Amino acid sequence: MRKPPVLAIVVPCYNEEEVLPITCGLFKAELDDLLAKGKVAPGSHVLFVNDGSRDRTWEIIRELAASEPAYRGCSLSRNRGHQNALLGGLMEARGHCDATISIDCDGQDDIATMEQMVDAYLDGCDVVYGVRSSRETDTFFKRFTAQSFYRLLESMGVECVYNHADYRLLGAAALDGLSQFREVNLFLRGMVPLVGFRSTSVYYERHERMAGSSHYPLSKMLALAVNGITSLSVRPIRLITWTGLAVALASLVAIVWVLAAHALGGTVSGWASTTAAVFFMGGVQMLSLGVIGEYVGKIYLESKHRPRWIMSERTWDEDEK
């Protein structure tokens, strides 16, 4: 049985001025409850990560940090996206805590599940996944697209936990392991399982967003899926190879059929078959080039070795002035 950890609740925020004043108190209340039960150690805190918000989000975070030591905040120099902001917050917390729990700011993930995550950590798990037990509250379209998203990732060879987003606990060992991943194209749902260590899952019901609007429309979900697949799997490239082989074999069969028909004098000139073949081959080639181009683009971005984020401000720096 481990000793109670210094816990950091890492909350990425982007234009959350409507919901942040509501959920900040819920995070603090859960942290106080864990402290009262002796499951986390003094020094545990809530770390808000401002992802270059254009509204009052950073101003609110600074006010919270000034009013209560349990609140801390750091701000990216510009908007870098949810995955970069989340990883940036985890790396800021690393070295100052024994474990982190990452959770979105909108209040949809069940905050009370944190106690189960901490219990699993105390029992020896370094990675604890928060997994949705059902999607009954989702619309049919949302449920269909989400399930298709996870099935697509699985079919493409990406190792991830079904119905798990970014609500998870990471121990110090897992954080150290995650820090060794240097890629620019981030898909944490697929990267964390690659870290290894003892893991488990806890299940919870997801609620409606408490305020504001979602920052993850269908277009961003599709972009996330493409990024996850191309960052963690080469299966699409292999599919192109197999597709090319299948088309080549089909072409050989067609050539034999054409030669046989010509020898028997049964050929009839026509544009339909020729046009269909041209469009088919053109489509296959364009699709193949698009997939290959996606990978080449990833290589291009990785080769630059640009920083994944730049922290411009930290509330604890202000405390030291």
What are the start-end ranges of the H helices in the chain? 20-36, 57-67, 82-93, 114-122, 140-155, 172-179, 188-195, 218-232, 235-263, 271-304, 315-320
Residue pLDDT, tens place only, 52-78: 999 999 999 999 999 999 999 999 999
Q: What value does the mean pLDDT take over residues 311-320?
A: 76
Closest by CA position to 40, among listed 69, 10, 4: 4
Eight-class DSSP state of 156: T
Task: Assess if residue 41 is contained within a domain.
Answer: yes
The dihedrals phi and psi of 203, each to the nearest 5 degrees, come to: -115, 145
pLDDT at 183: 85
pLDDT at 271: 53
Q: What value does the mean pLDDT take over residues 263-285?
A: 65
Q: What value does the mean pLDDT take over residues 251-255?
A: 68
pLDDT at 196: 87
Task: Assess if residue 262 is contained within a domain.
Answer: no
CATH number of the structural domain spanning residue 175: 3.90.550.10
Task: Assess if residue 122 is contained within a domain.
Answer: yes
Task: Assess if residue 290 is contained within a domain.
Answer: no
Q: Which residues of 86-108 are buried (b: 16+ CB within 10 A; e: fewer)?
A: bbbbbbbbbeebbbbbbbbbbbb
Q: How many domains does the chain have?
A: 1
Identify the domain containing residue 149 by its residue range.
7-232+306-320
Give the residue with greater pLDDT, 79 vs 277: 79
Helix (H) or strand (E) holding 46: strand 45-50
CB 173 within 8 A of CB 197: yes
Task: Assess if residue 259 is contained within a domain.
Answer: no
Residue pLDDT, tens place only, 86-138: 999 999 999 889 999 999 988 888 899 999 999 999 999 999 999 887 766 66
pLDDT at 321: 46
Dihedral angle computed from the Cα positions of residues 16, 22, 26 and 31, in that order, rounded to the nearest 10 degrees: 60
